[in-house]
Amino acid sequence: MSYSHHGPPRWLRCSLAIFGAIALCLTSFALPAQARNCYHRGDHTICLERVQRSAKYHWRYRVKATVDGQRQPLTRYDCRDRTRTPLQGIHKGQPQHFTPADVGDQLCALVNR
């Protein structure tokens, strides 16, 4: 007994599978939720590349920033205590108070609007 119709032709099934795989790849990349915020302070350009709020402590933010195009270490900013704590680098884990040259005041002003 032979069957004359087994569903869509093989080339169509392959084409649909390839199209589906491409569509899945294109939509699986998560884009940042926030736009890049850049501003000038003195002679420096400071850009906040990624800002992530803590779920447990809503006044804390993890920030990836660049200063004059140079990447800065990942840093936790505490808008309640006005401190920043580097999470990478030689000063890792050592909290420091915000300074005028720091991005802390600008960050807290942006997120507390």
For residue 64, tell me if it sits in a domain. yes
Asked if residue 47 belongs to a domain, the reply is yes
Q: Could you tell me if residue 10 is inside a domain?
A: no
**Tally of domains in the chain:** 1
Contact 51, 101 (CB under 8 A): no
pTM (predicted TM-score) = 0.63
Q: Is residue 8 part of a domain?
A: no
**pLDDT tens for the 113 residues of the chain, in order:** 555 556 677 887 767 777 666 766 555 554 444 456 788 877 888 888 889 999 999 999 999 988 889 998 999 999 999 999 999 888 899 999 988 767 788 788 877 76
Q: 59: domain range?
A: 37-111
Specify if 11 maps to a domain.
no
